Amino acid sequence: MASIPDIMFFVVTFLAIYIQIFFLVTFMDNRNKLVTRRGQTKLASYPAVTVIVPCWNEETTIFATIKSLLALNYPKDKVNIILIDDGSTDNTWEVIKKFVGHSNIKIFHKENGGKHTALNFGLLHTNTEFVGCLDADSLVHPECLVRIMSYFEADRDTMAVVPSVVVYNPKNMIQKAQAFEHFITVFMRKMHGLLGAVSVLPGPFSIYKKKVFDDLGPYRQAYNVEDTEMAYRMQKNHYKIDDCNDAYVYTNMPSTLVKLYRQRLRWIYGIINNIIDYRDVIFKKKYGDFSMIIIPSVIILMFSALYMFGIGVYHLLDFIISKIMKLEIIGFHLSNYFSHFDMFFVPARFSFIIILLVYFFIVLVSTLGRKMVEDKWVISFDAIYFFLIFSFFAPFWLMKAVYNTILSKKPVWR
Amino acid sequence: MIQKQIDWRKYLIVFLITLGIFLTASYASNYFSNRKINELKSIQDKIAIDILSSETQFSLLTELSCKNISDSVYSPELGELGSKLEWSRNNLGVTPEVSYLRKYYSLLQIKDYLLAKKISERCGVKSSFILYFYIAQENCSECEKESLVLSDLRDKYPELRVYSFDYTTKLGAVEAMLQIYKIKDTELPALVLDDEVLTGFHSVEDLDARIVKSFKLQEKKSINKTNS
């Protein structure tokens, strides 16, 4: 008879592979619709767009962010930029002031109140049909806005469009791991878009119809992930969100494990708590795939990550203990570590094959995501960094986020 | 406002594809396990032939001189088979095939032990024998440690032949040995070296000294034999 851990493993991996297959089938169904445009995109008309840039201690990145906005391939008089210094304690305000005199830039300074307050402050000064936000550590590709706006032009029901967020100039292995992860996100978000089930409107350059805020209200604090909450609110109210895979935003990602841990803790804590707040949408047919697969998949993937980590730790400890025991009893012999290779000892257990498959699907999805961005097939060795870092550390921020949720303890922003 | 539809057909298709993947993985796992079992069977067949050949050779030798004896009378694959069976028990589970192969292996070990002992006594081939009794199913940490000690000693002394027997093996020949040496399950691991029964854990140093003593004893015997 199968043991309880065996049954748990079967259920967890079955659901995890089901989700991966679901997105791959969505991809196959829509593969002809996926295009990666090159060159300049043209629109029939160019509606005015306001871009709100909230800044808090961003003196090193804000200048390049604004420059990238000014270089957008979009009529200058149709792009209004609102820079809001949310009570920075560094030189951010001095940097922002250099842009006084640009006809399409307005600058504001306010008391620190958190990102959502800065965004809402910006919304009060917005009188265009479209509005977007841009994190002050991100750079937009010149074609980004025009490609996003082409989605609004193609479908009048579209109320918000998200871009492809890719890691800017990844240097060390932590950033390379995140670069690999972001290609997975690009693929997944495109599939979410095709299913009408986008679950986050990322800070780097999501563009909305202003009507969304007029109808549904301003940004909320939402456990410091106002971008996730806004997407959940729009889904609950049947507002269409699409994904523009060839609109690129380059974002700076954490370069150290500590920074990565803090960022992910904030994200995961926010996602868990927003799911709890929006639990009434889960498994309700009227909310479509968002309710039937997207939200449940987040819960399943979190649970399976923790479960697999538990199993991994158990086996690792078992391995270490047996090695220590061997060392204690018979001492160190080099021959013990370089015994001849025999195919017989290559594992062929069912669980081993299934885990290999899960890893294969992850690499496949990241490769497809990269193809959507770069329009070429590249199998990246960053996968190794990704598996190393995310297998070992993701369970820690996940466990801490669950722990904080149970104790209602909010993580710090950074 | 947009109305959302659920494509139930897609959910079902994805379920069937996932099920298909799981069934294929299960089939592949069984296929590779069977290949391993077949490999074990072929090694056992080879050992059986080796032993039969050695026995025949030994019978012939009674009429000939010990000079004609070759090193090949010992089956080198016995140790390899043991470790592969051990791995199979841990990784493929205690399947009927693995249990059957383990019984067969125990029998081959006993035959090899009897034969090797006879050759050693008659022809004075330097060798030492350890019968090792352990229990695999229950948590016997002393047994795990003792196995490590024995495999280390086996690497050190090629003339040392260790025969391992799981206490729970349901085989008349193994049960007979347990009776002969009065091995109890409460005193495992147990070792038999030069007809002396040692119970509990014995360290590398302890066993090393006993093995060296055993070799010396054997040398003495063979000198006496030559003189007489």
pLDDT digits (tens, 9 = 90+) for A63-77: 999 999 999 999 999
In the numeric block, the tokens 């998949």 are attached to A297
- The answer to whether the Cβ–Cβ distance between B148 and A326 falls below 8 Å is yes
Q: What is the pLDDT of residue A217?
A: 96
pLDDT digits (tens, 9 = 90+) for A284-299: 999 999 999 999 999 9
What is the amino acid identity at position A366? S
Question: Under CATH, domain A48-136 is a member of which superfamily?
Answer: Spore Coat Polysaccharide Biosynthesis Protein SpsA; Chain A (3.90.550.10)
Cβ–Cβ < 8 Å for A18, B16: no
How long is chain B?
Answer: 228
- The answer to whether the Cβ–Cβ distance between A325 and B148 falls below 8 Å is yes
Q: What is the pLDDT of residue A339?
A: 56
Nearest neighbour of A285 by CB, restricted to B1, B6, B14: B6
In the numeric block, the tokens 């748990």 are attached to A8
Task: pLDDT band for B226, please (50, 70, 90 cuts).
Answer: low
Question: Residue B128, Cβ neighbours under 10 Å: how many?
Answer: 21
- The answer to whether the Cβ–Cβ distance between A344 and B17 falls below 8 Å is no
Instruction: Give residues 303 to 362 of A whose Cβ lies within 8 Å of B.
Output: 322, 325-326, 329-330, 333, 335, 344-345, 347-350, 352-354, 357
Q: What is the pLDDT of residue A19?
A: 95
Helix, strand, coil proportions of chain A in percent (round to 5)? 55, 15, 30
Instruction: Write the burial class of residue A325 (CB in 10 Å: 0-12 exposed, 13-18 middle, 19+ buried).
Output: middle
- The answer to whether the Cβ–Cβ distance between B4 and A289 falls below 8 Å is yes
Q: What is the pLDDT of residue A125?
A: 95
Pair of tokens at residue B208:
């090393």
Chain B residue numbers with beta carbons less than 8 Å from the beta carbon of A157 are 2
- The answer to whether the Cβ–Cβ distance between A238 and B5 falls below 8 Å is no
- The answer to whether the Cβ–Cβ distance between B2 and A333 falls below 8 Å is no
- The answer to whether the Cβ–Cβ distance between B4 and A286 falls below 8 Å is yes
- The answer to whether the Cβ–Cβ distance between B36 and A22 falls below 8 Å is no
Phi, psi of A256 (to 5 degrees): -125, 160
CA separation for the pair B69, B63 (Å, rounded): 12
Question: Residue B69, Cβ neighbours under 10 Å: how many?
Answer: 17
Q: What is the pLDDT of residue A21?
A: 96
CA separation for the pair A156, A283 (Å, rounded): 28
In the numeric block, the tokens 């094959």 are attached to A353
Question: What percent of chain B has a predicted confidence (pLDDT) above 70?
Answer: 86
Pair of tokens at residue A75:
């009529």
Of all residues in chain A, the one with the smallest CA distance to B86 is A345
Task: pLDDT band for A341, please (50, 70, 90 cuts).
Answer: low
As a three-state string, the secondary structure of A243-288 is EEEEEEEEECCCCCHHHHHHHHHHHHHHHHHHHHHCHHHCCCHHHC
Query: Looking at this predicted complex, what is its ipTM?
Result: 0.88
What is the amino acid identity at position B159? E
Contact A17/B at CB under 8 A: yes
- The answer to whether the Cβ–Cβ distance between A350 and B26 falls below 8 Å is yes
Chain B residue numbers with beta carbons less than 8 Å from the beta carbon of A329 are 145, 148-149, 152, 203-204
Chain A residue numbers with beta carbons less than 8 Å from the beta carbon of B13 are 25
Q: Parse chain A into domains and list their residue ranges.
A: 1-30+140-206+222-327+347-414, 48-136
Cβ–Cβ < 8 Å for B178, B131: no
Nearest neighbour of A288 by CB, restricted to B6, B25, B32: B6
Q: What is the pLDDT of residue B97?
A: 81
- The answer to whether the Cβ–Cβ distance between A21 and B2 falls below 8 Å is no
> Best interface-test mutation with B: which of A330, A349, A361, A364 has the largest number of B CBs within 10 A?
A330
Mean pLDDT computed over B202-206: 86
Q: What is the pLDDT of residue B59?
A: 76
* Residues 6+ away with beta carbon under 8 Å from A44: A153
pLDDT digits (tens, 9 = 90+) for A165-182: 999 989 999 999 999 999
Task: pLDDT band for B127, please (50, 70, 90 cuts).
Answer: confident
- Minimum mean pLDDT range among A216-230, A325-339, A345-359: A325-339
Q: What is the pLDDT of residue B51?
A: 75
pLDDT digits (tens, 9 = 90+) for A258-311: 999 999 999 999 999 999 999 999 999 999 999 999 999 999 999 988 888 888
Of all residues in chain B, the one with the smallest CA distance to A347 is B91
Instruction: Write the burial class of residue B80 (CB in 10 Å: 0-12 exposed, 13-18 middle, 19+ buried).
Output: middle
Pair of tokens at residue B215:
């070799």
pLDDT digits (tens, 9 = 90+) for A3-27: 788 888 899 999 999 999 999 999 9
> Is a pLDDT exceeding 70 seen at residue A37?
yes
Question: What percent of chain A has a predicted confidence (pLDDT) above 90?
Answer: 77
Q: Which residues of A261-284 are buried (b: 16+ CB within 10 A; e: fewer)?
A: bbbbbbbbbbbbbbbeebeebeee
User: Helices (H), strands (E): how many in chain B?
Assistant: 6, 4
Sign of CA dihedral A392, A393, A394, A398: positive
CA separation for the pair A273, A261 (Å, rounded): 18
Q: Which residues of B9-22 are buried (b: 16+ CB within 10 A; e: fewer)?
A: ebbeebeebbeebb
Q: What is the pLDDT of residue B158?
A: 79
Pair of tokens at residue B116:
């090797």
Question: Residue B26, Cβ neighbours under 10 Å: how many?
Answer: 13
Task: pLDDT band for B86, please (50, 70, 90 cuts).
Answer: confident
Q: What is the pLDDT of residue A23?
A: 97
Task: pLDDT band for B69, please (50, 70, 90 cuts).
Answer: low
- The answer to whether the Cβ–Cβ distance between A335 and B155 falls below 8 Å is yes
Phi, psi of A110 (to 5 degrees): -140, 165
Chain B residue numbers with beta carbons less than 8 Å from the beta carbon of A22 are 10-11, 14
Question: What percent of chain A has a predicted confidence (pLDDT) above 70?
Answer: 96
CA separation for the pair A310, A290 (Å, rounded): 29
- The answer to whether the Cβ–Cβ distance between B13 and A25 falls below 8 Å is yes
Chain A residue numbers with beta carbons less than 8 Å from the beta carbon of B98 are none
What is the amino acid identity at position A209? K
CA separation for the pair A306, A395 (Å, rounded): 6
Cβ–Cβ < 8 Å for A141, A247: yes
Of all residues in chain A, the one with the smallest CA distance to B27 is A350
CA separation for the pair A109, A97 (Å, rounded): 10
Q: What is the pLDDT of residue B123?
A: 74
Strands B128-134, B190-193: pairing kind: antiparallel
Mean pLDDT computed over A105-129: 95
Cβ–Cβ < 8 Å for A228, A144: no
> Is a pLDDT exceeding 70 seen at residue A141?
yes
CA separation for the pair B95, A157 (Å, rounded): 60
B1: part of which helix (H) or strand (E)?
Answer: none
Chain A residue numbers with beta carbons less than 8 Å from the beta carbon of B39 are 344
Q: What is the pLDDT of residue A413?
A: 55
Per-chain mean pLDDT for chain A: 92
pLDDT digits (tens, 9 = 90+) for A82-98: 999 999 999 999 999 99
Which long-range contacts (C-beta less than 8 Å, at least 24 apart) are formed by B68-73? B69/B119, B69/B123, B69/B125, B73/B115, B73/B116, B73/B119
The two most distant CA atoms of chain A are separated, in Å, by 79
The two most distant CA atoms of chain B are separated, in Å, by 109
